[in-house]
Amino acid sequence: MHIEAELDTVHAERLLELQQRLQKPLPEIVADILSTAIDARIEAPETEGQKMLSIFAEEGLIGCLQGDGNLSVDYKQHLWGNG
């Protein structure tokens, strides 16, 4: 595929500096940059809930309590008895 792009001065200079540092052809550098950007977009960021779930799992808190599975409904009975 052939792609033409017009870059502003800042981005053009940064791209050329990167090319000089890496000593790679410009099309290869651009392909690597595009690949990285596309892969980053495909991977959905972890939600707050997923972060908490992984922390709880790492700490051994998932499945550590015994019960009937209705704690969100009858938590008062478990905390204070028959109340």
Question: Which tens digit of pLDDT belongs to each residue from 3-50?
Answer: 898 999 999 999 999 999 999 999 999 999 999 988 877 777 789 999
pLDDT of residue 52: 93
**Res 66: pLDDT:** 75
pLDDT for res 83:
52
Task: Give tens-digit pLDDT for 54-83.
Answer: 999 999 888 777 777 787 888 888 788 765
- Entry pTM: 0.47
Token representation of residue 35: 């690949």
